[in-house]
Amino acid sequence: MELGCLAPSMLTTDAANTVIELRDIINLNFDSTGGLMKMSLKKFAVGLVIVAVLGAVGAWLTKPVLAHRSDLINAEIEVTMKEFGFDLKIVKSDGAAELKDNVLNLKVGKIVRFKIKNGGTTRHDFHLGNTADTASELYKNNPFEPYDMLELDVGSKTDLTLTIPDKAGDYEMGCFQAGHYAAGMKRPIKIVK
Ligand SMILES: [Cu+2]
């Protein structure tokens, strides 16, 4: 393969390798042997993929990135699921979220992001509300509707961003995997004005 004045031994970085790839695409397009033409098409395909990726990145950059507007979030709470309970840690708050003893206080109208991780050894779920109905595996009163629930496999995590509804009162987060709620997998929440 003709590399011209670029000796491969001198090129160690990814950027340098990329230069060779692009040179190969150009050089090999002029070769007439079957084998090299095959490689040429392969390299050409790689080139097309690179162009497609760059195009996609460009399109993405021109769109509003609402998911990354973390300045709109009033509070961030790390929730770690385990057997059997929820460990809470407030990592950011402008007063929208507060831990008072065991109770998570959340302020009406504020935007709160729960960063939920299953740090346990079995599947857990995350429900919000009050008046638990363990047979139906739900809270009869869920002020966060249409948010329903989410389930996390061992080791997985997700973010859940909610606006705290204007429904002051006592609620909780709970897990309704078989036997978990009865084993104490719940944590009190108070929505305050
Ligand atoms: Cu659970």
pLDDT given at position 22: 39
Residue-wise pLDDT for 12-66, tens only, equals: 334 433 333 433 333 334 333 444 444 455 565 555 555 565 556 555 555 555 5
Return residues with CB closer than 5 A to ligand 1 (ion).
Answer: 124, 175, 177, 180, 185
Distance from Cα 124 to the centre of ligand 1, integer Å? 4
Residue-wise pLDDT for 176-185, tens only, equals: 999 999 999 9
Question: 33-66: string of b/e by CB count within 10 Å (b at 16+)?
Answer: eeebeeebeebbeeeeeeeeeeeeeeeeeeeeee
User: Backbone phi, then psi, for 73, in 5-degree steps?
Assistant: -85, 125
- Where are the domains positioned within the chain? 8-61, 66-192
Distance from Cα 123 to the centre of ligand 1, integer Å? 6
Residue-wise pLDDT for 58-77, tens only, equals: 555 555 555 567 789 999 99
Residue-wise pLDDT for 116-141, tens only, equals: 999 999 999 999 999 999 999 999 99
Distance from Cα 132 to the centre of ligand 1, integer Å? 14
**Among the CATH numbers 3.40.50.720, 2.60.40.420, 3.40.50.1370, 2.20.25.190, which is that of 66-192?**
2.60.40.420
Closest C-alpha among 193, 192, 175 to residue 183: 175
- Asked if residue 4 has pLDDT above 80, the reply is no
Distance from Cα 164 to the centre of ligand 1, integer Å? 23
Distance from Cα 83 to the centre of ligand 1, integer Å? 7
Distance from Cα 85 to the centre of ligand 1, integer Å? 7
Distance from Cα 18 to the centre of ligand 1, integer Å? 48
Distance from Cα 74 to the centre of ligand 1, integer Å? 27
What is the pTM (predicted TM-score) of this model? 0.65
